Chain A
Amino acid sequence: MERNLKAALVASALLGAAPLAAAQVELRVMYYTDGIEDQVLGEQISRFEAENPGIKVALDVVAYKQIVEGLPVQLAAGEGPDIARVTDLGGLAKYYLDMRPYLEDAGYWVENFGPFLPWLRQEGDTESVCGYMTQMTVTGPFVNKTLFEQAGVAMPAKGATWEDWAAAVNEVARKLDIPIPLAMDRSGHRMAGPAISQGAAYFDAAGEPAVVDEGFKRMAQLLVDWHNDGTMSKELWGSVSGSSYRGANEEFGNAQVVMYMSGSWQIAQFSEQIGDDFDWWAVPNPCGPGTCTGMPGGAAMVAFKDTEHPAEVTKLMEFFAREDNLEDFYSRTLFIPGHVGLSAKGIDFQTDNPNAKHALGVFAEHIGEISPTAFQLQGYPFNRVMFNAAISRVNQAIVGEMSLDEAYGRIEQDVEQQIAEKKRGG
């Protein structure tokens, strides 16, 4: 009896050990989620594992904070994952794996991800292929159309200026007693679109960062004025410090905001959170003397060069980036595609919500209207330094800690100092 048991144990141990012994490759994917993306990706990973029995993929869903704060240090120490979803596209570029030697069809990547690949490159690099966009985003405003109808105020048409919109939302808010006429995400990236519309160039003639110019000043002045006259609420921008992000999802979802300047990533959230409580309507980006642009942006899946299994990593990336898989991904997550072929073809988004359908259409249109300056800014590796300096200093001016002129000086000093530090090595 005992002997039988022992034999059985040995046999099962051998059997169990055999497949493990066949050099299984394990890949780690670090991922943050704003909605159901992790589920969709998880399903795709299961399919990939079924197709590739030699490769095991572990999906680590982490807090966004870990991507922003933990990942850079982990990568610097050589302890990062194999693949991650990141938003500091250019800042982390020195850690990315150029997948070209391993790609089966590099042409597919250049053709379909071409416009975005430069965002993932270090300065001077014009060729590498390091990842793809899980999501292309573009900034733009949403309005609570139901409030406009209730107030009997006509929505400004395409081509209207920021001042026109400010006047219109103030009228709606006054008639219906809405506390916040206009809200904007507290983020330098969100501020950049309107600033470029006001004529900001963000770079000098030599291509070096130069945040403060006449156009930027116009925008900063508008923001200060809006906060002072009650068009915007200090509750949103004033209530945090530094470069902390602060959205207005809750306030907008509660119908306390008439117009909310945010971006395409909100569509899935609004569908779930607001549903049909009121009509949330995406509208064209308002104009300034310069143009009428939003900011492009997004999150990318990238492979890291510290990986021990570059071939397998590339294989997994190719799987994720395959047209059918991406179509499935974008259509379920309600993300604007970051894939040229799919954008041309159009995605059949899986939503019943008429507001969401409309918004997806509007944001697709925004993409065609993005100014070259906005693209240049998005492609600059240290753009976050510029965004963060702008938002934290303009904000200090808004709450009265310093004057706007002082803020301009501080923005220039902050950007200069941080970029100098960056260039000193690292």
Chain B
Amino acid sequence: MRQRLRELAALPWLLAMRALDRPFRLLQRGIGQGGMPYFFLVPNLLFFGTFVILPLLVNAAYSLTGGTELFLEDRPWIGAEHFGHLFACGDLLDPATCREDNFWRAIYNSMKFVTLQVGFMVALSLLTALVLNRKIRARGFFRAVFFFPVLLSPVVVALIWKWVLHRDGVLNALLESLGGDKILFFIDPGWAMFWAIFVSIWAHMGFYTLILLAGLQAIPPDLYEAAEMDGTSKTRTLWRITLPMLWPNLVVVIVLAMIKSVQTFDEVFVLTGGGPGTATQLIVQYIYDTGFASQVQNFGLAAAASYVLAVILIALTVIYIALAFRPDAKHA
């Protein structure tokens, strides 16, 4: 029955693809096999170029012009002034000495957030995957339990936890009923950052757990049997067999978690509002506030900030791609 349904669902796709067979064979004859890769790339690059690359170029133009007009022709050229403002610092390590102090606060907050969030996310996902990889009953159920928050929207995740954590929330009610005092989580920078990280891990770790779990299950059992026969300790087995065998999966997890972590915005914004003060204001929120949410929509400064972010991001990406680097295409 299910098989039938699946076939039925795939039918339009198969028909469409088959119908395209002949025209594309002719196309291939026309442009040759060497032209085909471009043909496969064009649709994606068209969208990518229009909605990612072009906006990035427009952003570059914004960053070099001033005023609050939306259309480029109405914006006066000001050169690198915005960049100058961003870097006008007495001491780069101390945001208070910078002209755009909140930009640097946001950068440092983001660094802290990404480091801690990715670190704990990977560690917890790994731990959960190891636990789920034991011989336990109802593994499917537990797998689903850890996964389902992935389905929730960031706004909903943050709203749920806000209800739990605020002054009159259920967690404080619990603390009081146990004889403790209420804790105002969102007025303490440490607690606020802790919950921001906790909540985003809560929302995403299920996905990474699954990837790692799959990796664990793919490790051949005879490796473990051999280790057991040699009398290798469990800890040693973990370090010598499990983790090295799991390394490719761990790299995928680290890279994906990094990408997601740097882009974090609405989750934390709805949860803590960036506070207390600016303690949990992340870089994307700074850019959003500057260019969009304030009365004077300073597109230029926001664009400049996004380019500084881009430089940092590209550097990070290069590092992690180097980690993930594998032999390139083997075909053609």
Contacts and interface: CB of A to CB of B under 8 A. Distances in A.
Q: Do chains A and B touch in the complex (CB under 8 A)?
A: yes
What are the 5 closest A-B residue pairs judged by CB atoms, nearest first?
A240-B273, A426-B68, A241-B274, A425-B67, A239-B186
Contact of A418 (B186, B273, B294): B294
A399 B76 CA distance: 38
Interface in A400-426: 400-402, 406, 410, 413, 417-419, 421-422, 424-426
A241 B168 contact: no
A145 interface: no
Contact of A422 (B70, B74, B281, B296): B296
Interface string B253-294: 000000000000000000011111111110000000100111
B68 A239 contact: no
28 contacts: A76-B70, A235-B186, A238-B187, A238-B277, A239-B192, A239-B275, A241-B274, A242-B273, A242-B281, A244-B275, A246-B273, A251-B167, A254-B168, A382-B296, A385-B294, A385-B295, A388-B294, A388-B295, A406-B96, A410-B101, A413-B99, A417-B85, A421-B68, A422-B67, A425-B67, A425-B68, A425-B75, A426-B75
Interface string A216-255: 0000000000000000011100111111101000110010
Contacts of B306: none
B324 to A, nearest CB: 35
Contact of A425 (B76, B99, B275, B293): B76
B295 A399 contact: no
Nearest to B288: A69
Contact of A382 (B66, B168, B295, B300): B295
A384 interface: yes
Given A239-B273, A239-B275, 20 more contacts: A69-B292, A76-B69, A77-B70, A234-B276, A238-B275, A238-B277, A241-B274, A241-B276, A241-B277, A241-B278, A243-B294, A244-B273, A244-B275, A250-B168, A385-B294, A399-B187, A399-B279, A402-B96, A406-B96, A421-B301
B274 A244 contact: yes
Contacts of B66: 421, 424-425
Majority-rule SS of B interface residues: loop
Nearest to B297: A72
A395 interface: yes
B313 interface: no
Given A401-B278, A402-B96, A426-B74, A421 B295 contact: no
Contact of A242 (B184, B189, B289): B289
A256 interface: yes
A396 interface: yes
Interface of A: 68-69, 72-73, 76-77, 88, 91, 179, 233-235, 238-244, 246, 250-251, 254, 256, 382, 384-385, 388, 395-396, 398-402, 406, 410, 413, 417-419, 421-422, 424-426
B96 to A, nearest CB: 6
B298 interface: yes
A272 to B, nearest CB: 19
Contacts of B289: 242-243
Contacts of A238: 186-187, 275-277
A242 B274 contact: yes
Nearest to A402: B96
Contacts of A413: 99
B134 to A, nearest CB: 41
